[in-house]
Each structure stands twice: as C-alpha cells, then as structure tokens.
Structure 1
Amino acid sequence: MSFRQFAFNNVKRNSRAYFAYFISSAFMVMIFFTYAVFIYHPRMEQIPIGKLARAGMQAAEYVILLFAFFFIFYSISMFLKVRNMELGILFILGATPAQVNRLIFFENMLIGFASILTGIAGGLLLSKLFLLFSTKMTEMKELPFYWPTKALLLTVASFSTLFICISLFTLVFVQKIKVFELLQGNKAPKKEPRASVFMSFTGTVMLAVGLVSLRMETLTPSKIFVAAAAGIAGTYLFYSQFSVYMVRLLKRSRKALWRGTNLLWISEIAYKIKDNARILFMITVVTSIACMSSSLVLAMAQANYQSYINNPFALNYYSLQNEYSEGDLKEINRHLNAAGVTYNQIKVTTQRIKVKTSVHSVDQNKDSIVEVIAASNINELSAFMNILPNKRLDNEGSFLIYNSNGSALADKRPPYAITLESGQTLSINDIYKNEAIASLGFRDTNLLVVSRDEYEELKDKRRESIIYVYYVPEWNDQSPKSESPEALISIDLEKWFQERIGQHQTANFFSTRMGSYLNAERGTSLFNFIGIFIALIFSISSASFLYFKLHTELLADSKMVLTLSKIGLSTAEMKTSATLQIGLLFFVPIVISTIQTLVVLRPILETMYINTLYTPVLIASSLFLGVQSVFFLIVRSRYLRRLDKAMV
C-alpha cells in the first residue's frame, strides 16, 4: 500500500466525521464561485447598478474567504484532536514526524480538492439559475450564461492556497504534542472547571464598555470597533466564567438536581463547560454577525416601504434659485398634463432657525434647529397630509409638529416657551406627531407653526426655503411597483431633470417619491441577495461546528452510556439527557445573538433615522431559529442512534 493510498483509506474510513466538513467547505466554494461568475460577467459594466453590485459581491468574497479560513482551521484542528491516539500509534510503530506530517497533509488536501471540485461543479450547474435569481432580486436586466474562466481560476487559486496554508500551519501543533499525550487521546481526565472572580468581573466590564460605546451621543466607526471588540471578549468570558456559576447554582439546588435525569445532564455539562464555552462562543459570534446583517437589511427595506407609504406627495421640487423655478415647474406640469394625471401643486415656504434655548433637554444637538412655517401654509397642507385632524390653526400661539426622527418632547408638556437665536421668545401651546413631515425634507428637525404675522416678522430671505409639492390622488391608492404609471412617469421626469442640470438649464433640485423608493429598494435587494447566501454559509457552518464537537465526544459518551445502562439507565432517560445537552448547544447562541442584535442595532438604526427595530430582528432570529431547528433534529437523530447502539 502506498502512502497516498493509506491517506485515501483513512479519509474513507472516517467519512462519517468528514462528511459535514466536506459539505460545508464545498458549499462555501460554490457560493464563492457563483459570486465570482456574477462579478466577472462581461455585461456587468453596462448595467446601471453593475458597479455597486460588483463591489458588494467582492466584499462578500472577502467575507467568505475570511470565514472559510477560520472554519477550515477549526475543523482540521478538531479532526486532529479526535485522531490523537491514532497518530500516537503511528509514532510507536516507527513512523517519522515527516511521514506523519505528510499523511496529514495528503488527507487535508484530498478533502480540500474534493471540496473545490464539488463546489465548482455545483456552481457551474447552478450558475444560470443563480444569474437569473440575482437579476430578479436586484431588478437588473437578464444576464446570459457564459463560460466563467476568470471565476474558475480565482476560485481554484483562492481555496487551493487556503487549504495548503492551513494544512501546513496545523502541522506545527502536531509536532509540539508528545507521544504520551497523543496516546492518551481524549481519555485524559478532566478536572471540574473553576471560575475566576477577576475574569468574571472583567467580562462584566467588557460587556458594559461595549454597551456604553454604543449608547454615547455620537456613534463613530471607532466606537463601533470598541463595542465589537469589547462585546466579543465579554461574550467569551460570559460563557467561560458565568456558565460555571450557573451550573454551580443548579448543583446546589438538591431538589432540582435529583429530579429525573437532571443529575445526569447537569453533571455532564459541569465537566464539559470549558469545551462548550469555546463552541458556544464561536457559534454566538457567527450567528450574531449573520443576524445583525439580516436584521439591518430587513429594517432598511421596511423603513423604505414605510417612508413611501407615509409620503403623500409624489413629486418634490426644491427652488434654490428662483430664476429657474418658473420654467422648471411649467415643464413638470406639462409632463403631468400630457399623462392625463390629476394633481394639486402646493407651495411650501419655511425658514430654518436656530433655537437658543433647546426645546428638548435630552438631546441638545437634534433640537438646536427648527423649521418655521406659517399657520396658513399648514392649513393648506393639512388637507393632504392630515397633520392636524379636525382642527385648523388660528393666529394665536405656536405649535410644534415632529416625527419619529425628530423630538418626541417626552420630557416637556405644553405650554412652554422657547427662545430663538434672535432673542425672540415663542410660546408652544400644543404639539403634534406626524410622520408625513419627512416628505417635505424635514427628516430630523421639528416643524414650528406660527401665525402669519409672526412668520413675516421672522422672515429672512437668506434662510428661507421654498418647496413645491405635488399631490396625485390616484397614485396614493397603489402599492409601489416598478411598472406602475407613477414609476414610469417619475423615472421619465427624473431623466428629464438630470438632462436640464447637465445642460446648465437649472440649478434647483427635484425628487420623486417612487424614484427614491426604487433606488433604495435596489440597494436593499442587492444586500438581500448577498446576505441570503452569506447567512446560509454561517448557518451550515454553525451546524458543522456542533456536529464536529459532538463527534469528538461520541466515543467517550458511548462508553459512559454503556456503563450507565448496565446499572439501569433506560433508553428514554439517555435520550432526554442527550437532547437537553444538544439543545443547549444549538439554541442558547440564538437567544444570546438576538439580545446582542437588539442592543447593537438600536443606535445604528437611530443614526440612519430608522425607527423599526423589533420586527426585523425577531424575523431574522426566527429564520435562524428555524434553520437551526432543522439541523438540531438531524444531528440529534444521528447522535442518539449512535448512543443507542452503545447501550446494553
């Protein structure tokens, strides 16, 4: 038997252990390859969002490679740990370290190249479907199939280098282990883990630092990095230190400990805490990243749709230079009349004024500016925006209108006074909440309604803004679709206006409700498309991590079950105990990652003026929970079947 045949037979004999690793690696190769097929498509340059799509795919390629490095490194390390005794026997039989290293290298490369070939084959078979799916999701023109030479070369080169480097790197660990330790394998006795008060305190501090970094007034990339580093470190210490205290609390309660099979699974967990902490930590980090990414994309998509629904005006024209306004407005009206559209044009005049005394003590920066508008102008808008239901404003007192992105004035109730920068004092008699004011361009400021006389008194041409909004009744009863009459007319108007800007015929600004919605939807659909496959990789890899972990403990657990069955352990009790332990490994990370996602995304979404948090997070977490439940049932079934065979 040649050395290569020996390596092949080893892989064949351990196929059950290598299967999950092989499938996960092949799936990563397939997704990497299909993304590369998309990136190097010859027609990508001709597509409007082709550059953005290519940049997003390239970022995804880096994420896949980085994750693949850690996944393959961990997997190979786990396999070597399981085979410690086998390697020790080879050394005793006379194998040299160089021969053992060559054997391990051959085995790793055999699985690696098989994964590359399988992944590329799967990618080639599914590439046409992938291109069709990608263009549908991102609303691009259909991309025809082509022979992806560049994608093939990139995939083979990237993953071959990855497998070779990791295979060589892991050999260092084998050389450092003594033969006696190898022969002991996984039989080395484990001591009951102890928790360190200092490390537990450090973990608490780390989690607190991460939370405080996110809750500071201004969120910056450096603060996000500090929060991520502190959160990851705190998560590891939570599992490695606090879990010890939790198990001790369970063991102290004799009433709970001696009930049913609790003694069995609690005692087992107590001695597996150190190993479980590592795997739970890795899965939590992976799941949290996937859950945060998915929740962010869902929140953006939901906010985009809500923004469209809350906006009653189909078109907005911002008059920055009056000399162009008359000609621009005539042309816009001509387009709408030619299309047979019934519309109302409303002129909105406001002034942006600084407030000397903040109207909101919690956030001095957000409320330092207000948009001032005359009551007569608001009365005109009220019929279309439903700003003040069943009420028209008179000329006495001032009113403040805000939305979710502005100030909720939770700590102040009217009446109260504010002082403007000019020194003038205004009395706020009432406050109203209305999401539609964002459609006027006031996303993060308050709308201060004053009488016409007060408005004229404050009037300053240098800070005055004029907006013309168009209300189209027939378009407000339709859901946003790219082929709707509103979309076709809006896109046509936007193209026309861009041409006027290019020809220096206007210096003003024009936007459409549908155009803004479709542009945002294309971006979120692209992230959705990329995120779906990244999330799938993370989910499958997480299940593989757990499968490896349980496989490494299978021999020891089988022997323990055999011994316990001789003294009366039933099959039902064994299954209950094992199911609880496997369930903790699969589902605890989902709970922790959901909490982390809620904590991390809240300040990030606030900076993006997105107020939807719980719905997207719960949807994303539920999806991951569903996927993990499927993997849990598969792994549990296989694991219990093996343990059942070990019983008397």
Structure 2
Amino acid sequence: MKIFSMAIRNIRSNFKNYWAYFLSSSFSVFIVYLFMSILYSKNIQDNLGGVKNFITLFNVGATMIALFSAFFIWYSNSFFIKSRKKEFATYMLLGMSKKQVSRLNFLENILIMLASLITGVVLGLVFTKFFIMLLFFIIKVSADVPFQWNLRALKISVLIFLGIFAVITLHGAFVVRKSNLIDLFNASKKVEKGLKVSFVTIILSILAMICMGSGYYIAIKKLPTDITKSPVVVILVVVGIILFFTSTTSLIIHMNKKNERKLFKGTKLISVSQLYYRYRGNAGTLSTIAITTTVALCALVTCVGSYTKCEQNSRYMRPLSVEYFNVDKAQSTFDGILKNHNEISVKHKDSIEFLNIVEIDKSSEIARGFYVINESEFDKLSEHQGIERKANLKSDSDCYFIQINNFVENEVSTNEKISLKVGKKDYKMTVVGSDGKPFISLDHFNKTVVVTDNVYNEMKSSVNKRSIINMTGYTFEDDFSSGKFVADLAKNMSKDSGLRTFYDHYSDGLKLLGMMAFIGLFIGILFIMATGSIIYFKMTMEAREDKSKYKTLRNIGVSKKEIKKAISKELLVLFGAPLVVAIISTYPATYALEKMLLLDLMKSYAVIALVYAAIYCLYYFATLNSYVKTVE
C-alpha cells in the first residue's frame, strides 16, 4: 500500500515530465478507438453506397497507428527509464529491494496506462459523432449521425494498448532487476565523446549530397514518365538522409567549432560545444524523424491534394455529364427518365461519331487500335466541354494527336510524321499539335487522330460499318444535382449502352479520396506529435544531465539571457534540421506525383508544410521553456 501511495505521489510531483508522454499516448488511444468505431459502425457502412469495400482503409489506418504508437510508447518509455535510473538507485540505497523498485515502476506505468486509456476512450466517446459528421461532410454524404457506444471498438482498443503497456512494463522491470547499484547511479554520467570527423566523414558527406541530389533529379526528370524508378528514388533519398545526419551535419558542426574567429562571439561557443558533444547521440533519432516526416508529408500531400482536386480529376476522366453508345432503346430510355427529373437542365447535346481503326504492325504483328474523328466534331466537343483547344488543321495532310498514357516510350510529338492505313490507302500525316485530354470518358477512350472533314469522310467510306462508332453525350448546367437522375439511369439503361456519368465518378472518387484524406490527416497529426514529443523527451532528459554545466556557467558570469540564447540555437538545429530536410525531400516527390496524377498539388504541399512547421514551432518553444526551467 505504501508503494502504491508512493507511485501516486511520484506522478503528481513529476507530472511535468510525463505530460507529453501522457498526451501522445491518450491521443493514440483516441485515434485507434475512433478508427475502430468507424470501422464497425453500421451507420457508416449503410451510407457508403457502392464503395463499402473502401472501409478497409480505416482498418489499414488503425493498424498503422497501432504499430507506430507501439514504437513511440516504447521509445518514450526507454527515455523515462534512463532518466530515472539514478532515482531507482537512490531508492535501493535507502533500503528498497529491486523487487520493490520494479513494483513501484510497474504501478506508475499502470496508473499512466489507465489514465491514458480512460482519457483516450472518453475523448473517443465525446468526439466520435463529431468526426463521423466531419467524414460525412468531407465525402458529401447527408445522413443522421446518432451518438454511439461501440463495445467492439472499445474492446479492441483496450486489448491493443494493454498489450503495448504490458511489454514496456516488463521491459522496465527487466532493466531494474538486471542493473546493479553503481550502474544505475552512473547512468547519467557517461563520458561524452565529441564528434569523430575524418577524411571518411568528408567522403560520406559528399556521398550524402550525391545520393540526395540523384534521388531528387530522378524524381523530377524520370519518375513522371517511368514509375518503375520509384524504388531507386526511395533508396537514394533514404540513404542520403541517413548519411546527411551522420556525416554532413557532423562535418558542419566540426567546421564551426574550428572557426575560432566566430566561435568566441556571443554565446556561439556554448551552443556549438553542446552540439559537438551531444550530436552523436542524436544523429540516429534525427535521421529517423526526417525520414518518417518525409513519408508523412508525402502521404498527406497525396491524400489531401488529391481530395481537393477530386472535381478536376473527374472532369478529366469523365468530360461529359452523361455518355452512352447508341444501342437499341438507349435514347428513348434516356428521354423517358429525363422527363421525370425537372432538376436536370441540358446545356449541350452532342451526337459523336468516330472511326475505330485497327491495323497490324508488320514488324511485331501486334494489333494497334486508334480512333479517328473529324475536325469540326472535335472542335465542337472541346467548346461544349469548356476546353480551350482547336485542331487548326491547315491542310489534309495535317492531323492533331491525343494520347493519354504518360508512361509510353513512343509518345507522339508535334511535327512528327505518322502513317495510318485505313482500308487500302496509306495516309501520311504531320502532327501539328497534341495533348492528353480525352473528349469522351477515359473508360471508352483510345489514342485519337483528328483529321480534316474531307479526309475523315474519305476514310469513313472505306471502312465497314462496325468500325463506325456512334455515341451520344450530354453536358448539364449543374452536374452536382444529378444524383437521383444518374441513379435512375443506371437502373434502366442496358449494359450494352456503356453508360458513363460524371456524377458517379465524382461521387465514388470523393468518398475514396475523402476517406484517404481523413485517415492521412489523423496519421499526419499523430506522426508530428510523436516526432515532436521524441525530441522533447530527449532534450528534457539531457537538460537534467546538463544542469551542473549551466550552473558553472552562471557562476562564472554568464547571464540567464545568454544561456537561453545558446540553448535556443542548439534546439533550433535539432528541431529545424529534420523538418527542413523533410520539406525539401517532399518537394521532388510532390512534383513527380503532380505530373503522374495530372493534378496541381503544389498548393497543398505549401499549406501542409507551413502547418507542419507551425506545429514544430510549438514543440520547439515548449521544449525550450522546459529546458531553460530545468537548467535554472
């Protein structure tokens, strides 16, 4: 009973040392419970329509969060044990046995665990409804969201974190039982070794720049047209980041220490000396944080950026509001349903005709298929779809080329000569323009040659009727009010009609990308809280070890203001370096993704990077404040 009272007293008196650990653990419990509640919520599953299978995204998200939480809690607990070894030794010196100290550590862990579990679950119960409403708002689903108590989600969340806390508690007991009194007392008095800088360090620093530079170059120049190079980019950047923090940064700190002209100006000597002797122990942590932050930023930019460009993507994939092949009864079915929906206002109706030409490549004996459309029809479709492009064919030997696939090796370019065999005649054409925007749904599209009306009519007369494709396309005044109309069409139109609608693609894409953005947002927040807290734990622990040094500095006349300035410079390097490297490394990935997905992701990249930097600043000032208070 005395040990239990002692555990409570320890937590109360030293809660400032536990708050970041407690906060992050509670947030981890909250997110896991939230994701599990969504995963097993009948309300969610009933309102996801045709994308119910995408709910597995939350399962994947919850698994990632649980794994990262386990790593983070283990990492944080190792700091606590190290920082408290001297305290454990004092207890033993005063007569407590190792068993009693282990029990004390066990009880403290149990109390923190229970507090984190209760706080996380209570937050989950209070805010689950709000976040489900937020998810519905993101994916634009209108539905009532009742307050829910999900026993299955609670059970799984509790089991996950009981397992995590059980492992770290056993680890703490093992450390106490296996350590002798002298080792525990001297845990924080290890001899500090300065940075080892040699010719090998210079070589590795150069190699770091080469790896990172090569990775960035391949990502920007090669990756948009050859996605198979992505593993090479990842390996080069990861290796470059590790070498940068283990070699390049060490070299920079060493050079600053050797620069005696500037070293003795102001408080630079203090901050550089601290970095010189402390950086070796932080290099691995900083490189890990830089890599994980890069991954988190890339994921957030992709998820959030894709979501914000959902309409743009759907417009590209489905440029027409509705399109279908002119099979039996398709037109009459459409007209009949349209009469029952007064909310639909047709802006343009297009009767689209093009030729489906298939020819055999004599060298490879591979069948090549392409479409041929006449210039006047193509220009009219572009105008109706609000696309600023025209074929501008000056003669019958000119053509305009549309090719979607960005990953083909033989992409057709302007002024290139192409040969088309239609019927028995070979047509020698000069490409006067090209782009990658389809004029019909991408599901139906093939690479297309736009020719003059004269050439088209000549080609049409030499092909069989089966090669002539007729479609009908509609452009509505407001696509976003066509949900019920599109649903009725899907029920009544035959499968042979090949019905494709903008609203279906937009609605399904919004649900998928909205859920990805929702998951990415929470995982990103967890990552930044965890990485910021790791630096916080590490620096507050080192602050306790550095107390005597700063006391000596105060005794020889260094002011509090100068000490704070020196500490702020040291922490600025430790917080700023991983963030800057992560933001720089994310830019080439964003550029490549932007080109591959044909989306504007740079605005999302800039906003997310600024938000990340702002949150890191909060952790920086919190750590600075805690560090200064400790050494004072």
TM class by shorter-chain length? 0.7 to 0.9
Q: Are the structure 2 counterparts of residues 519 and 91 from structure 1 closer, same or farther at C-alpha, using a change threshold of 3 Å?
A: same
Q: Are the structure 2 counterparts of residues 356 and 54 from structure 1 closer, same or farther at C-alpha, using a change threshold of 3 Å?
A: same
Q: Are the structure 2 counterparts of residues 202 and 26 from structure 1 closer, same or farther at C-alpha, using a change threshold of 3 Å?
A: same
CA contact (8 A) 2:33 2:154 kept: yes
The whole-number CA distance in structure 2 between the counterparts of 1:466 and 1:209 is: 49
Q: Are the structure 2 counterparts of residues 168 and 642 from structure 1 closer, same or farther at C-alpha, using a change threshold of 3 Å?
A: closer
1:189 CA drift (Å):
1.8
Instruction: Tell me the residue number matched to 1:483.
Output: none
CA contact (8 A) 2:208 2:244 kept: yes
**Given the alignment, which residue of 187, 197, 201 partners 2:189?**
187
**Amino acid of the structure 1 residue aligned with 2:417:** A
1:246-303 alpha-carbon deviations (Å, 9 max, x no partner): 2123234344433332222122111111222133223223322321221011221233
CA contact (8 A) 1:346 1:469 kept: yes
The whole-number CA distance in structure 1 between the counterparts of 2:421 and 2:158 is: 65
Instruction: Tell me the residue number matched to 2:623.
Output: 635
1:26 CA drift (Å):
1.0
If the length of structure 2 is used for normalisation, what is the TM-score? Answer: 0.85
**Amino acid of the structure 2 residue aligned with 1:81:** K
1:136 aligns with 2:141: no
Mapping for residues 49-64 of structure 1, pairs under 5 Å: 49=49, 51-52=52-53, 54-64=55-65
CA contact (8 A) 1:128 1:144 kept: yes
The whole-number CA distance in structure 2 between the counterparts of 1:96 and 1:352 is: 88
Instruction: Tell me the residue number matched to 1:23.
Output: 23
Instruction: Tell me the residue number matched to 2:227.
Output: 219
**Amino acid of the structure 2 residue aligned with 1:155:** S
1:341 aligns with 2:345: yes
Mapping for residues 28-427 of structure 1, pairs under 5 Å: 28-49=28-49, 51-52=52-53, 54-93=55-94, 95-140=96-141, 141-175=143-177, 177-195=179-197, 196-197=200-201, 215=222, 218-219=226-227, 228=234, 231-307=237-313, 313-319=319-325, 325-336=327-338, 339=342, 341-342=345-346, 343-351=348-356, 371-385=371-385, 393=393, 395-402=395-402, 406=406, 414-420=414-420, 424=426, 426-427=428-429
**Amino acid of the structure 1 residue aligned with 2:168:** I
1:37-75 alpha-carbon deviations (Å, 9 max, x no partner): 222324344223473463222222111210111111001
The whole-number CA distance in structure 2 between the counterparts of 1:139 and 1:392 is: 41
The whole-number CA distance in structure 2 between the counterparts of 1:356 and 1:602 is: 36
Mapping for residues 249-648 of structure 1, pairs under 5 Å: 249-307=255-313, 313-319=319-325, 325-336=327-338, 339=342, 341-342=345-346, 343-351=348-356, 371-385=371-385, 393=393, 395-402=395-402, 406=406, 414-420=414-420, 424=426, 426-433=428-435, 435=437, 437=438, 439-441=440-442, 447-452=448-453, 454-455=455-456, 456-457=458-459, 459=463, 465-472=469-476, 474-475=477-478, 486-489=479-482, 491-500=483-492, 505-604=494-593, 606-607=595-596, 609-643=597-631, 646=632
CA contact (8 A) 2:486 2:503 kept: no
Q: Are the structure 2 counterparts of residues 439 and 587 from structure 1 closer, same or farther at C-alpha, using a change threshold of 3 Å?
A: farther
Query: Bigger CA drift: 134-143 or 94-103?
Result: 94-103
The whole-number CA distance in structure 2 between the counterparts of 1:443 and 1:250 is: 63
The whole-number CA distance in structure 1 between the counterparts of 2:507 and 2:451 is: 36
Partner of 2:227, secondary structure, is: coil
The whole-number CA distance in structure 1 between the counterparts of 2:623 and 2:324 is: 60
The whole-number CA distance in structure 2 between the counterparts of 1:626 and 1:270 is: 27
1:426 CA drift (Å):
3.0
Contiguous gaps of at least 5 residues in structure 2:
none
Partner of 2:496, secondary structure, is: coil
CA contact (8 A) 2:401 2:448 kept: yes
1:471-526 alpha-carbon deviations (Å, 9 max, x no partner): 34x33xxxxxxxxxx3333x23432333236xxx4422112223322221122222
Contiguous gaps of at least 5 residues in structure 1:
359-367, 476-485
1:157-202 alpha-carbon deviations (Å, 9 max, x no partner): 2211110022213444455545433211322221112255476577
Partner of 1:345, secondary structure, is: strand
The whole-number CA distance in structure 2 between the counterparts of 1:90 and 1:357 is: 87
CA contact (8 A) 2:396 2:455 kept: no
Q: Are the structure 2 counterparts of residues 444 and 375 from structure 1 closer, same or farther at C-alpha, using a change threshold of 3 Å?
A: closer
Partner of 1:630, secondary structure, is: helix
1:573-626 alpha-carbon deviations (Å, 9 max, x no partner): 22222112222222322222222223334445555x334232222221111112
The whole-number CA distance in structure 2 between the counterparts of 1:416 and 1:547 is: 60
If the length of structure 1 is used for normalisation, what is the TM-score? Answer: 0.83
1:615-646 alpha-carbon deviations (Å, 9 max, x no partner): 22222111111222223233323333444xx2
Partner of 1:43, secondary structure, is: helix
The whole-number CA distance in structure 1 between the counterparts of 2:169 and 2:421 is: 68
1:7-42 alpha-carbon deviations (Å, 9 max, x no partner): 333333322111110111111112222222222324
Q: Are the structure 2 counterparts of residues 529 and 573 from structure 1 closer, same or farther at C-alpha, using a change threshold of 3 Å?
A: same
CA contact (8 A) 2:401 2:412 kept: no
Q: Are the structure 2 counterparts of residues 464 and 243 from structure 1 closer, same or farther at C-alpha, using a change threshold of 3 Å?
A: farther
**Amino acid of the structure 1 residue aligned with 2:480:** A
The whole-number CA distance in structure 2 between the counterparts of 1:545 and 1:439 is: 52
1:110-161 alpha-carbon deviations (Å, 9 max, x no partner): 2112111121122223233333333333333222113322222222222111
1:404 CA drift (Å):
8.2
Q: Are the structure 2 counterparts of residues 26 and 582 from structure 1 closer, same or farther at C-alpha, using a change threshold of 3 Å?
A: same
The whole-number CA distance in structure 1 between the counterparts of 2:603 and 2:369 is: 31
Aligned residues: 612
1:369 CA drift (Å):
6.9
Q: Are the structure 2 counterparts of residues 235 and 314 from structure 1 closer, same or farther at C-alpha, using a change threshold of 3 Å?
A: same
The whole-number CA distance in structure 1 between the counterparts of 2:232 and 2:312 is: 32
The whole-number CA distance in structure 2 between the counterparts of 1:283 and 1:388 is: 46
Task: Among all aligned residue pairs of Structure 1 and Structure 2, give the percentage whose two residues are the same amino acid.
Answer: 22
CA contact (8 A) 1:138 1:529 kept: no
